[in-house]
């Protein structure tokens, strides 16, 4: 019952699995990343597709997608960060609610807006690829859609989490720049074998990218992390604790362990994305 500290890969693998259902946890090890992969041979050796065939989706997949989208978009109203909701609505013609979206159309809009690209991956990739590709403004998504009986529980992320949860904030230049910086620092720490620095990044990923709050223009804390945005149950749970948030201090966040075997009880609220980028640069310099 400990924090995943063996490597960034193991830590992040647990992060991505744990947000699904807070009452039942089935942990996986290894890195399920949100980035491109560069090794075609690696991809071809896996069972899931590395391209999207829209004609292969049964009507049920489109129906499930629409139900997931409509339920979660309504549930997030008044709770989620305007940065997220505005970006989601801006993508309404590409990251659409009417059915499974086309990755190519989402990528075209994202690239035109902030310069980021998308590529399909079937599963796990090494941590060095994760960081290197984020550093090159690359983000990834799976293209499989959960079944109706998996509506509220999955053992690994599907396309709904990858796209609905993670892609909209990349339409915002400040967040996109932060993610690129996150990748650049990860590359540096990986190359230098900085295990302590990598653990700090894993904690930052957990407490902000997956489970963070962000203050709006009025100073009110709003939901932001992708693990919250894409999960109905996580939205309910995190929102119920909004009066118990801890101020986001990067030194404290990177020193705060997390658990993946119990209900999330610690949430940090960030005041400014721009300030976070500066703090991250300074922290990385000290941790190098």
Residue 154 pLDDT: 74
Q: How sure is the predictor about 119, in pLDDT bands with cuts at 50, 70 and 90?
A: confident
Chain centroid to Cα 21, Å, comes to 16
Q: CA 237 to CA 45: how far, in whole Å? A: 38
Greater confidence, 246 or 156? 246
Output phi, psi for 2, to 5 deg: -125, 165
pLDDT > 70? residue 121? yes
pLDDT > 90? residue 48? no
CB atoms within 10 A of CB 181: 18
The per-residue pLDDT for range 153-207, each reduced to its tens digit, is: 777 788 999 999 999 999 999 999 999 999 999 999 999 999 999 999 999 999 9
Domains of the chain: 8-287 (1.10.800.10)
The per-residue pLDDT for range 49-68, each reduced to its tens digit, is: 578 999 999 999 999 999 99
Report the percentage of the chain scoring pLDDT > 90. Answer: 69
Residue 49 pLDDT: 58
Interacting residues of 74 by C-beta distance below 8 A, sequence separation 6+: none
Angle at 284 between CA 224 and CA 195, to 5 degrees: 95
Mean pLDDT score of the chain: 84
Q: Which of 106, 133, 117, 115 is nearest to 35 (CA)?
A: 133
The per-residue pLDDT for range 253-263, each reduced to its tens digit, is: 999 999 877 77
Q: Report yes or no: 226 and 179 within 8 Å, Cβ to Cβ.
A: no
Q: How sure is the predictor about 41, in pLDDT bands with cuts at 50, 70 and 90?
A: very low
pTM of the model: 0.84
Structure token digits, residue 177: 């720049």
């Amino acid at each position: 019952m400990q924090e995943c500290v063996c490597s960034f890969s193991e830590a992040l693998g647990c992060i991505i699995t744990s947000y699904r259902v807070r009452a039942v946890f089935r942990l996986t090890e290894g890195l399920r990343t949100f980035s491109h992969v560069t090794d075609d041979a690696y991809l071809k050796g896996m069972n899931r597709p590395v391209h999207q065939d829209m004609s292969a989706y049964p009507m049920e997949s489109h129906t499930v997608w629409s139900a997931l989208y409509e339920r979660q978009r309504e549930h997030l109203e008044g709770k989620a960060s305007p940065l997220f909701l505005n970006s989601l609505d801006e993508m309404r013609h590409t990251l659409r609610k009417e059915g499974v979206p086309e990755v190519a159309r989402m990528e075209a809009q994202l690239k035109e807006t902030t310069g980021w690209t998308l590529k399909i991956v079937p599963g796990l990739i090494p941590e060095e690829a994760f960081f290197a590709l984020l550093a090159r403004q690359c983000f990834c998504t799976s293209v499989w859609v959960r079944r109706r009986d998996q509506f509220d529980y999955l053992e690994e992320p599907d396309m709904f989490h990858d796209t609905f949860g993670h892609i909209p904030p990349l339409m915002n230049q400040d967040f996109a720049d932060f993610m690129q910086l996150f990748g650049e620092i990860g590359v540096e720490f990986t190359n230098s074998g900085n295990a302590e620095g990598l653990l700090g990044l894993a904690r930052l990923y957990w407490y902000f990218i997956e489970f963070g709050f962000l203050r709006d223009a009025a100073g009110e804390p709003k939901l932001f992390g992708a693990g919250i945005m894409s999960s109905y149950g996580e939205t309910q749970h995190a929102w119920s604790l909004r009066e118990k948030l801890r101020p986001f201090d990067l030194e404290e966040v990177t020193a705060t362990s997390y658990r993946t075997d119990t209900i999330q009880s610690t949430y940090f609220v960030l005041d400014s994305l721009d300030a976070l980028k500066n703090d991250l640069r300074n922290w990385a310099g000290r941790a190098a």
